[in-house]
Structure 1
Amino acid sequence: MNPIIFDKNSIYNIIKKKNPHIVDEIKEQVKELELVKNPKLLTKMPFVEQGASLYDTIWVYYPWRNTLVHCLKEKDFKLLRTSRNQNLVTKKEQKKIERIRVGIAGLNVGNPGALCLALEGDIKMKLADNDVLSLSNLNRFRAGLPDLGLNKAVLTARQIYEINPFAGLEIFEKGISDENIEKFLLKPKLDVLIEEMDNLPLKIKIRELARKNRIPVIMVTGSGPDVIIDVERFDKEPSLPLMSGYLKKEVISGIKRGPGTFSEKMKLARNFMGIKYLHPRLIASFELVGSKLAGIPQIAESSFLRGASIAYFVRQIAQGEKIKSGRYYLKLSDVQRSKKP
């Protein structure tokens, strides 16, 4: 369900029918917008505001919150909302970012990445996940108890729409399957794929299809407090081995053949990344799933780092930076203390 946009002459029916909570901070938005358009006004504070009546505004109704929000029209909204990116992100770079289409398959890890991307710009996204939010997700997933039972792709879309009601989103709430994988990747074609699914055969299949169609793939994995980032530039290297060669042929064969037992499935999941690249506690935990642990452990600090990593690498690819295929590391466990000044 998308937010519904009204002009000022159309809001009275929704107010009468729904009695929504109303958020009207349009004067502050206009004040900020005037400063963004003319930063020299900062030196003349307090300045005389032009007034909201001189701007075209809209009202956005969020059905899932029963909330009506007064805000600027799309062009001014976008200008103001992304203004604090400058000049860490230049206007030219911002335009490049917002021309791309990103697909995120798997919203457990993908959720913080989707939110980072949405915060940094008006990026078109496809969101796919068939899982719902559970209580055990709330050690790392930015959501709350009222969201329990909600599909993760739908939940992520709602969070993005609350940041940007004009967001261009396509939701695949049944997740990725053999039936819709081509639609997800190719109709319309993605510029970058973020692959964060749990289904091992689909992880292989979607990469093979991305490689065939020269779509770069990013996967970010939590390893205790650390993050592993795998980048596959199939757009530049159409013959690149899957996972840049880190995924061994015997593991691919085992996944395609299908694991016979639960223990074999856990070993394949562990070996998908390569045991020597994982945090020792994570390696040990794989052995305990199904006996002493109910799932593979993940923690919030690496979850949010993964989101930041996804946004960073997507932005670099969008801007045409020379990000090479391979494996990258972000290690909180190896933080360096600065020398004395």
Structure 2
Amino acid sequence: MDKINSSVHAPDHSMIYRPVYFRLINPEEGEKLKALISNNPDLLIYDTILSQLGELIKLNNPQQKLTPEESAALVAAHLKTDADAYGVWVYYPWSNKLVHTLDAQEFAQVRTSRNVYKITPEEIQILQQKKIGIIGLSVGQSIALTLAMERTCGELRLADFDEIELSNMNRIKVNVQDLGLNKSIVAARQIAELDPFINVICFTEGITLDTIDEFFTGNGKLDILVEECDGIDIKILARIKAKALGIPVVMDTNDKGMLDVERFDLEPERPVFHGKVAELEALSADQLTETLNKLTIPEKIGYLGKIIGFENLSPAMMKSVGEMNKTIVGWPQLASAVTLGGAMITDISRRILLKQFSKSGRYFVDFDELFKDELNTITNINGDNDTH
């Protein structure tokens, strides 16, 4: 088979992750949209604005059972203009798709309508103003997508220098054509295609001494840091920075359902990692980086053991630690555990942001403990024994 010329068949959009918006009430944007359509014969156009408006009308008239004719009449009255000019046209350059949607406020109202009253309309408005940063987009990708899906914040900052590899696809929701792309870019694109009005900022070099200030305070201070990176130096540096700024930190360890919460916003003197690496916290950023860069792999594993606690590792993970760089080359992570982490971090982040949770500590949702299988017998929710 001849080798495909990727420069012809796959234009380089590797660093593009922001969509382009066209609002036809602005004549200049209208002309740009016409030019885009006329100059792009392969453009894929999706227009369901009338259906979206129908949903909006239904939400605004919850006590009425509208007939199709009544709904259409209310949509027409709401429009007061040509349907093509209503809302916003969103262009995704990486996929060459053009989508017609409700504009930001109405889009958010419809998209979050099924959250009510698990999240009240007032709480939805509060969350829309919040900013969450995520370091590490392997485990962090599931978290970012769940945060965006639930609309737990209005801005996400994603930091990861790494690229998607084939072995990542056991737990990162990507497509084969995403191989080689930066992890944060791929996550940002997925969020933009889910909700083009969530502000996403990518840090494709990861967190360094040069980027850490911008990540934490650019465009306003973060409200929560989600730390999911592999590097011990960044794990500690990020917490020291969060502590100095009074930003709570949450982390999913992807093993035994362990969720770690550090409320530096409420406990400004709290030691990082619950005081387990006090000797490292006392170092300057340069000293910490120098010290950790000199560590051997066994020494790094030792520090990870202190940070997480070997007693908190599952037997399978303990075996994996002993096999590192012998029979395996990376930390094992399963899609089921990563998905659980996305749920846990989203839930705890929402409650922190809404002042419904104030504690620091470690919490476990351990499936091995919750669903025990002893002698092939499971006790079901009714207390009956099912043998299988």
| TM-score category (smaller protein) | over 0.9
Native 8 Å contact 1:102 1:190 kept in 2: yes
Aligned to 2:257: 227
Native 8 Å contact 2:273 2:307 kept in 1: no
Aligned to 1:4: 20
Aligned to 1:303: 338
Q: d(CA) in 2 for partners of 1:234 and 1:47? A: 56
Aligned to 1:173: 204
Aligned to 2:354: 319
Task: Report the CA distance shift for 1:309/1:150 in structure 2 as closer, same or farther (over 3 A).
Answer: same
Tell me which amino acid in the other structure corresponds to 2:364: Y
Aligned to 2:13: none
Q: d(CA) in 2 for partners of 1:332 and 1:35? A: 41
**1:117 aligned to 2:140?**
no
Greater CA deviation, 103-112 or 130-139? 103-112
**1:215 aligned to 2:238?**
no
Task: Report the CA distance shift for 1:250/1:328 in structure 2 as closer, same or farther (over 3 A).
Answer: same
Per the normalisation by structure 2, the TM-score is: 0.82
**1:90 aligned to 2:101?**
no
User: How many positions carry a matched residue from both structures?
Assistant: 337
Aligned to 1:275: 310
- Following superposition, the deviation at residue 204 of structure 1 comes to 0.8
- Following superposition, the deviation at residue 313 of structure 1 comes to 1.0
Identity of aligned residues (%): 35
Aligned to 1:129: 160
Task: Report the CA distance shift for 1:47/1:319 in structure 2 as closer, same or farther (over 3 A).
Answer: farther
- Following superposition, the deviation at residue 95 of structure 1 comes to 1.5
Native 8 Å contact 1:231 1:244 kept in 2: no
Aligned to 2:300: 265
Native 8 Å contact 1:251 1:268 kept in 2: no
* 1:57-76 alignment runs, 5 A limit: 57-76=87-106
Task: Report the CA distance shift for 1:253/1:297 in structure 2 as closer, same or farther (over 3 A).
Answer: farther
Aligned to 2:55: 32
Native 8 Å contact 1:104 1:196 kept in 2: yes
Q: d(CA) in 2 for partners of 1:151 and 1:22? A: 27
1:23 to 41, 46, 49: 46
3-state secondary structure, aligned to 1:107: coil
Tell me which amino acid in the other structure corresponds to 2:234: L
Greater CA deviation, 1-10 or 196-205? 1-10
Q: Which runs of 4+ in 1 moved over 6 A?
A: 250-255
Task: Report the CA distance shift for 1:176/1:291 in structure 2 as closer, same or farther (over 3 A).
Answer: same
Q: d(CA) in 2 for partners of 1:177 and 1:38? A: 51
**1:244 aligned to 2:266?**
no
Q: CA RMSD in A?
A: 2.1
3-state secondary structure, aligned to 2:39: helix
- Following superposition, the deviation at residue 266 of structure 1 comes to 3.0
- Following superposition, the deviation at residue 40 of structure 1 comes to 2.1
Q: d(CA) in 2 for partners of 1:253 and 1:286? A: 27
- Following superposition, the deviation at residue 268 of structure 1 comes to 2.7
Q: d(CA) in 1 for partners of 2:331 and 2:362? A: 22
Q: d(CA) in 1 for partners of 2:53 and 2:261? A: 41
Q: d(CA) in 1 for partners of 2:281 and 2:320? A: 22
The unaligned stretches of length 5 or more in structure 1 are none
Per the normalisation by structure 1, the TM-score is: 0.93
Native 8 Å contact 1:231 1:243 kept in 2: no
- Following superposition, the deviation at residue 323 of structure 1 comes to 2.9
- Following superposition, the deviation at residue 250 of structure 1 comes to 6.2
Tell me which amino acid in the other structure corresponds to 2:124: Q
Largest Rg, 1 or 2: 2
Tell me which amino acid in the other structure corresponds to 1:264: E
- Following superposition, the deviation at residue 130 of structure 1 comes to 0.4
Tell me which amino acid in the other structure corresponds to 2:35: N
